Amino acid sequence: MTNPIFRARRLSLVSFAILGLGLIPCAASAQEDQPSGKSFVDNFDRIDSGRWYVSDGWNNGPHQNCTWSKKQVSVDGGMLKLQFTQAKTGQRDYACGEIQTTKTYGYGTYEARYRTATGSGLNSAFFTYIGETDKKPHDEIDFEVLGKNPGQVQVNQYIGAKGGNEKLVPVAGGADQGFNDYAFVWEKDRLRYYVNGKLVQEVSDPSKIPTHAQKIFFSLWGTDTLSGWMGKFAYGGGPATMQIDRVAFTAAGDKCQFPESIACKLN
């Protein structure tokens, strides 16, 4: 089974990949559509089915060599685990994991603490997305660690399906060797990316800033074909795991929700 929202999103992402400290305002600026979600912190003591939908039973297109499987998504010891493993699933010989929020979120601070998977040809991603299935233009904001070089994270955004805004940012010690904090602050006229509390990218051109409320995703997937972007696929003989310790969204104007939050430093 192929879900068109994910197929369309990743095909757009892939095509572009191949081609190519201030204050948070007290109130959010008007957004093109009204988000349905509010501020939250999730420490993954369980998978809250009211907040998260687990992708299961499809792939995103020919570039993806695994099928999304709910069996590859679990919680253990306060940690969300997404796995990539060799297991005949659907049309693929590998199975992989993804979760997405059931609600959409708008301007504010998005934060996640996680450790990425190890393996060339894999993609460990924390991102927001909205698109065709929700009857909206394709808008997206990304953190992606590409298996060929876990010493870097790629930040990027799409506006109306137009990407080409990639920047590679160093992750000291390697994103797959320990837990790191990734965050972005999304405002109407500014988008800022942070790694371990350090500002690494600032976008102020309105034409390069998404405007539509989006869902939050975590995913781990692989490819046999996009070796130039993600590295030559080489299965290590056992499951690869992405571990997520915490994720939070703090709406613009809301108080910060935990001491280490970027929102605490900017408010």
d(CA 118, CA 121): 9
Catalytic residue set:
140, 144
